[in-house]
């Protein structure tokens, strides 16, 4: 039970960034800044934590929304490719986090109750897991039962055709990038609360984990198709896989360093993308 709760608590951060990434990819875009945004959010939350959990939460989510706002404006107003735009904000967010933290971890306030967000439990359920679960319920509801969700899929399926139908393409894309930034900031809040410090150098590779989870969940990298529930399943699959590797490694049965785990994660993503590409090719041939 302890191991299960630890997996849920730790992977709640990855689940959140994967949720935002899922919506971005469904529009045919990409957000490489989620990891750096989470790191920046953790620093902002740690700095604001002495003023209480509410302000700590608002600070982390707020800086995430700012990054998402910038991403949306770069992609929509300046017509910069999402890969380039979010790569730029990834570097900017990372540098800003290091500047705010003075190139070191920022301790949170334990007296204010802020750490409950990351370390607390409600009955037997970790608070971070409940936050992630609530976010996924909201995400699934938006995708499946609102006009915004239908427009997200339409944009990914064909942006020009969606414009001809009179649907708000730019507004939808802006909302998606804004939400992705805000959710990444929320993941940063949980990061700071869970580990007791804002981590300016954390978040490296989180965007790859998020992309892997989204793709494993069946969302097409080209956009137009995807599932929030399947993305959560992808997060849990990857989380359990690497938890098993860490557990067996700790018992001495597997001699596997963290660097090799990164290699495995990259190969896993490559295999899934290749399988997805092959399936798309066969589908085109059928038509």
116-163 pLDDT tens trace:
999 988 888 899 999 999 999 999 999 999 999 999 999 998 998 999
How much of the chain is in helix, strand and coil states, percent to nearest 5? Answer: 75, 5, 20
DSSP H or E stretch at residue 122: strand 121-122
Q: How confident is the model at residue 287 (pLDDT cuts 50, 70, 90)?
A: low
Asked if residue 39 lies in contact with residue 201, where contact means CB atoms within 8 angstroms, the answer is: yes
Question: What is the crossing angle of helices 228-250 and 258-286, to 10°?
Answer: 150
246-249, long-range: CB < 8 A, 24+ apart: 247/3
Residue 257 has pLDDT above 70, yes or no: no
Identify the pLDDT of residue 41. Answer: 97
Task: Please check whether residue 175 is in contact with residue 69, taking contact to mean a CB–CB distance below 8 angstroms.
Answer: no
The two structure tokens encoding residue 41: 């959010």
Q: Is 221 among the domain residues?
A: no
Q: pLDDT digits over 58-105, tens only?
A: 999 999 999 999 999 999 999 999 999 999 999 999 999 999 999 899
Q: Both tokens of residue 152?
A: 């997200």
pLDDT at 221: 84
Of residues 34, 13, 45, the one with CA closest to residue 177: 34
Q: Is 210 helix (H, G, I), strand (E, B) or coil?
A: helix
- Predicted local confidence at residue 58, as pLDDT: 97
What pTM does this model have?
Answer: 0.90
Residue 254, in any domain of the structure: no
User: Residue 249's pLDDT is what?
Assistant: 47
Q: Which domain holds residue 186?
A: 2-203
Considering the domain boundaries, does residue 36 fall inside one? yes
Burial 138-165 (b: 16+ CB within 10 A, else e): ebbebbeeeebbebbbbbbbebeebeee
The stretch 198-209 carries a mean pLDDT of 89
> Which residue matches tokens 């700790």?
250
With respect to residue 248, please indicate whether it lies within any of the assigned structural domains: no
Q: Please give the structure tokens belonging to residue 36.
A: 């750096």
Q: CA 277, 21, 265, 84 torsion: positive or negative?
A: positive
Please report whether residue 265 resides in a domain: no
Q: What pLDDT, on the 0 to 100 scale, is given for residue 3?
A: 66
Contact at 8 Å (CB) between 206 and 34? yes
Residue 215: per-residue pLDDT: 87
**Domain count along the chain:** 1
Q: 202: buried, middle or exposed (CB in 10 Å: 19+, 13-18, 0-12)?
A: buried
Residue 70 domain flag: yes
The span from the CA of 239 to the CA of 218, in Å, is: 17
240 part of a folded domain: no
pLDDT given at position 250: 45
125-126 and 197-198 as β-strands: parallel, antiparallel, unpaired? unpaired
Q: Has residue 140 been placed in a domain? A: yes
> What average pLDDT does this structure show over 238-262?
62
Least confident span in 201-205, 218-222, 279-283 = 279-283
């Amino acid at each position: 039970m302890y191991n299960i709760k630890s997996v849920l608590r730790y992977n709640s951060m990855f689940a959140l960034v994967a949720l935002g990434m899922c919506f971005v990819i469904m529009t045919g875009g990409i957000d490489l800044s989620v990891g750096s945004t989470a790191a920046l959010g953790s620093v902002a939350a740690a700095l604001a934590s002495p003023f209480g959990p509410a302000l700590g939460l608002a600070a982390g989510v707020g800086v995430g929304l700012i990054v998402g706002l910038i991403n949306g404006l770069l992609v929509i107003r300046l017509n910069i490719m999402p890969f380039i735009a979010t790569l730029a904000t990834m570097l900017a967010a990372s540098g800003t986090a290091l500047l705010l933290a003075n190139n070191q971890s920022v301790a949170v306030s334990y007296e204010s109750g802020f750490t409950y967000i990351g370390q607390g439990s409600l009955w037997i359920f970790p608070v971070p897991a409940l936050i992630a679960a609530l976010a996924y319920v909201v995400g699934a509801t938006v995708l499946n039962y609102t006009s915004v969700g239908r427009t997200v899929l339409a944009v990914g399926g064909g942006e020009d055709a969606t414009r001809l139908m009179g649907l708000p393409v730019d507004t939808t894309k802006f909302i998606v990038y804004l939400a992705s930034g805000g959710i990444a900031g929320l993941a940063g809040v949980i990061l700071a609360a869970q580990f007791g410090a804002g981590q300016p150098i954390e978040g490296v590779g989180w965007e790859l984990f998020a992309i892997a989870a989204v793709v494993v969940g069946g969302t097409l990298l080209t956009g137009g198709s995807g599932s929030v529930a399947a993305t959560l399943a992808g997060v849990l699959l990857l989380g359990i896989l690497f938890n098993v590797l860490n557990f067996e490694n700790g018992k001495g049965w597997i001699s596997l360093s963290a660097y090799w785990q990164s290699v495995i994660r990259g190969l896993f993503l490559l295999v899934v993308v290749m399988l997805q590409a092959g399936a798309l090719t066969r589908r085109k041939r059928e038509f």
